[in-house]
C-alpha cells in the first residue's frame, strides 16, 4: 500500500495509464541490485530511487575520486576519498527516504555473485570492465534473474535486456550475453576510461535509459530490449537498434553448454 506522502510523491506516475497505482505498487515491492556506482550506476540509482523502487542494492568497492565527479552525478566534492557504495546509499536516502538501501562495499566476484544476485528481483549492470559483465550475465542466467546491462566508450554506448533463463512469446529461447558477444575482446585492446576519456553527459543518457528499461521490466509496459541492442552515438546523436537471437553454440545455454557454474570466472 502507498501512504499519503507516497501518493503525492509518485502522482505523475500514478496518473499514467501504463503505470497507475498497481504499477507503482510493483515498483515499491521490487528489489533491484545495481552493479557499480560509477558513471552508469549513478543515474540508474538516482532515477530508480526517485521512481520508488522499494529496495535498492548497490555494490562497489571503490572510493570517490576527483576525476569521477565529471560524470558520476550522485557524488559531490565532499565525498572524495569516501566509499562509493555508502555515499551513494546516503544520497538515495536524501532523495527518497521511502527507499531501503543495501550498500555492499565489496567487489563482485565468482565467490559472492550468486548469493548476492539471488536476493534481488532484477540486476542493472553498470560495471566498467568486460570480466565483470560476463560474470554478472552468467550469474544472472544461473540464478534465473533478468538483467539490464549497458556499456560505454568515449562517445558511444549500448544497452540491452537479458532474460536468457526464459523463452520468448514465440516459444524460442531468449539470447544470452554470450549470444551477443561470444568472447570478450583481447586484454588491452580497448583502452580504459582513464586512457581514452569519456564525454561526461553520455553516462547520464545511458544510465537514464537503463533506469527506464528497469522500470518497464518491473511494471510491464511497452516492448523491452530482450533480443535487441540499443546503440547510441553521441557524436552524431544517432540511436539505432540491432536485433540478435539465441545462438545454439553459445557455451552457457546452447545445445551443448560447458558453463554450468561460475568456476570459469575464478
List, as one string, the DSSP characters of 191-233. --HHHH---TTHHHHHHHHHHHHHHHHHHT-S---BTEEEEEE
pLDDT of residue 86: 98
Residues 22-38: what's their mean pLDDT? Answer: 98
pLDDT-based confidence at 138, cuts 50/70/90? very high
Measured from the Cβ of residue 37, the count of other Cβ atoms closer than 10 Å reads 29
Q: Is the pLDDT of residue 195 over 80?
A: no
Residues 162, 164, 165, 170, CA torsion sign: positive
192 versus 163: the higher-pLDDT residue is: 163
Q: Is the pLDDT of residue 242 over 80?
A: yes
Q: Is the pLDDT of residue 236 over 70?
A: yes
pLDDT-based confidence at 265, cuts 50/70/90? very high
Q: Is the pLDDT of residue 223 over 80?
A: yes
**CA separation for the pair 95, 142 (Å, rounded):** 34
Task: Give the chain's domains with CATH numbers.
Answer: 10-265 (3.40.50.720)
Q: Is the pLDDT of residue 189 over 70?
A: no
Q: Is the pLDDT of residue 232 over 90?
A: yes
Q: How far is CA 263 from CA 39, 135, 139, 165, in A?
A: 29, 10, 11, 19
pLDDT of residue 78: 97
Tell if the pTM clears 0.95, that is, is over it: yes
Q: How far is CA 71 from CA 43, 123, 249, 260, in A?
A: 9, 22, 38, 37
Q: Which helix (H) or strand (E) holds 147?
A: strand 147-152
Residues 198-215: what's their mean pLDDT? Answer: 97
Measured from the Cβ of residue 62, the count of other Cβ atoms closer than 10 Å reads 15
pLDDT, one tens digit per residue, over 94-114 is 999 999 999 999 999 999 999
pLDDT, one tens digit per residue, over 43-95 is 999 999 999 999 999 999 999 999 999 999 999 999 999 999 999 999 999 99
Q: What percent of the chain has pLDDT over 90?
A: 91
pLDDT of residue 194: 73
Amino acid at each position: 500500500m502507498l501512504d499519503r506522502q507516497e501518493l503525492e510523491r509518485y502522482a505523475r506516475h500514478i496518473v499514467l495509464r501504463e503505470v497507475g497505482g498497481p504499477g507503482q505498487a510493483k515498483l515499491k515491492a521490487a528489489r533491484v541490485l545495481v552493479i557499480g556506482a560509477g558513471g552508469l550506476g549513478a543515474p540508474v540509482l538516482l532515477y530508480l530511487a526517485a521512481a520508488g523502487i522499494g529496495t535498492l542494492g548497490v555494490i562497489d568497492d571503490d572510493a570517490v575520486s576527483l576525476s569521477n565527479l565529471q560524470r558520476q552525478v550522485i557524488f559531490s566534492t565532499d565525498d572524495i576519498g569516501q566509499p562509493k557504495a555508502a555515499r551513494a546509499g546516503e544520497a538515495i536516502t536524501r532523495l527518497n527516504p521511502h527507499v531501503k538501501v543495501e550498500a555492499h562495499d565489496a567487489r563482485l566476484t565468482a565467490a559472492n555473485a550468486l548469493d548476492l544476485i539471488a536476493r534481488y528481483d532484477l540486476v542493472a549492470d553498470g560495471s566498467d570492465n568486460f570480466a565483470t559483465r560476463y560474470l554478472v550475465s552468467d550469474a544472472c542466467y544461473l540464478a534465473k534473474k533478468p538483467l539490464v546491462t549497458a556499456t560505454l566508450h568515449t562517445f558511444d554506448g549500448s544497452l540491452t535486456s537479458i532474460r536468457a533463463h526464459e523463452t520468448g512469446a514465440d516459444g524460442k529461447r531468449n539470447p544470452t550475453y554470450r549470444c551477443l558477444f561470444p568472447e570478450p575482446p583481447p586484454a588491452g585492446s580497448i583502452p580504459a576510461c582513464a586512457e581514452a576519456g569519456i564525454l561526461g553527459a553520455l553516462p547520464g543518457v545511458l544510465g537514464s535509459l537503463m533506469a527506464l528499461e528497469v522500470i518497464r521490466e518491473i511494471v510491464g509496459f511497452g516492448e523491452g530490449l530482450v533480443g535487441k541492442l540499443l546503440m547510441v552515438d553521441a557524436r552524431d546523436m544517432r540511436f539505432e537498434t540491432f536485433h540478435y537471437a539465441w545462438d545454439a553454440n553459445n557455451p552457457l545455454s546452447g545445445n551443448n553448454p560447458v558453463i554450468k557454474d561460475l568456476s570459469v570466472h575464478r
